[in-house]
Structure 1
Amino acid sequence: MNKERTYKHPFFKTGASARSQCGFTLIEILVTVVILAIGLLGLAGLTLEGMRNNQGAYLRTQASILAYDMADRMRANKERASDYAGFSTDGAATTLPACATDSAGCSPAGQATVDMVEWTRQIQGVGSGTALLPGGVGTMQFDAGTSTFTVTVTWDEVAREGDAGETISGDGSYTVRFLL
């Protein structure tokens, strides 16, 4: 007695109906490949945008470190704080004064010069071969009315577009305001 088992569930077909189902059709495979390709292109776009945002965050962090570094230098040399006002690293000298290597050290005025030259060297990458900020420029201002110092660091960054296609500006600047 040879009994053929039949199941009502469509996955367990036996007999003649099982032989008529041979597998996926070419169209089903092509549709699957197209859907997979679109998904992978979206993932690649997200990865690229994430890398761009990561680079922007890195540059902003470097600018923050440089701005607070100069603020700390000015706090350490309060008696000559006015020497820092109006300074810009754009076109500034990068040669350290002689007192920087003198065993006696620098006078407060000389220390202000050393601070500004070292800050310029950090921003422009002099001596290291690599600038911390591409196209970086640091400026210091003093507002006598409020006794507020302002340290601003700007750099060149790839422009980004917003959700509506507009260009987002102001990403390449970091400002610190403080009182001594």
Structure 2
Amino acid sequence: MRKQKPQVMKNPGNQLRTRCQNGFTLIEILVTLFILAIGLLGLAGLLFEGMRNNQGAYLRTQASILAYDMADRMRANSNMAASYGGFTTDGASTALPGCASLATGCTPSDQVTLDLVGWTRQIQSVGSGITMVPGGVGSIQFDAASNVYTVTVQWQEASRGGDASEQIAGDSAYSVRFTL
């Protein structure tokens, strides 16, 4: 490596001063690398947040599909719709009723049991090996005064903070309200 020759400069007071420029480029490179590293860390953080938000949107979509699936089952068996009310998948049986394998099908009251068991199996991922919503719990409520059914699907998700780190309330539940 060649050693640079010091430059001699004159200042207004006719005093000689020497200035050496060794290592100046190395400092510029280090500062540039530091700024680049900070930018890449910010980009990685944005990528991570985007992936987490995408996963949340996916789970919300799955919960929506499950909730509307039960609403459609209830509409198909509307004569027995009141029998669906007050149900929760938490601790519910996942054993299919005997009419599920019969060629003649189920009676309307047995169809209620088949629908509830089938919905429970989907939410709890029984028999399929595919988890639609992790830690999923579904519930059906019926308000007789207003004739409104509410189908709710809840799941477990890593909590996300909003502005100033507050929790986003109700972010891991999806509800459908309808009348028959």
TM-score by length of 2: 0.86
Q: Name the CA distance, whole Å, in 2 between partners of 1:135 and 1:123.
A: 8
**Aligned residue in 1 for 2:134:** 134
Q: 1:131 Cα shift?
A: 2.1
Matched pairs, number: 160
Cα deviation for residue 23 of structure 1 reads 10
> Is the Cα contact below 8 Å between 1:159 and 1:169 reproduced in 2?
no
Percent of residue pairs bearing the same amino acid type: 69
Q: Write the letter of the residue equivalent to 2:76.
A: A
Q: CA deviation at 1:130?
A: 2.9
Range moving further from structure 2, 156-165 or 75-84: 156-165
Give the Cα–Cα distance (whole angstroms) in 2 for the partners of residues 86 and 158 of structure 1. Answer: 28
Structure 2 CA distance for aligned equivalents of residues 69 and 49 of structure 1: 30
What is the CA RMSD across the aligned residues, in angstroms?
Answer: 1.5
Counterparts of 1:5-154 in structure 2, within 5 Å, are 25-154=25-154
Segments of 4+ moved more than 4 angstroms? 21-24
Q: Structure 2: which 5+ residue stretches go unaligned?
A: 1-20
Gaps of 5+ in 1: 1-20
Question: How far apart in 1 are the matches of 2:68 and 2:93?
Answer: 21
TM-score with structure 1 setting the length = 0.86
How far residue 168 of structure 1 moved from its aligned partner, in angstroms, is 1.7
1:82 Cα offset (Å): 1.0
**CA deviations over 1:36-87 (Å, ceiling 9, x no partner):** 1011000000000000000000000000000000000000001110110001
- 1:114-136 superposed Cα distances (whole Å, 9 cap, x missing partner): 00000000000000123211110
In structure 1, how many angstroms separate the alpha carbons of the residues matched to 2:22 and 2:31?
18
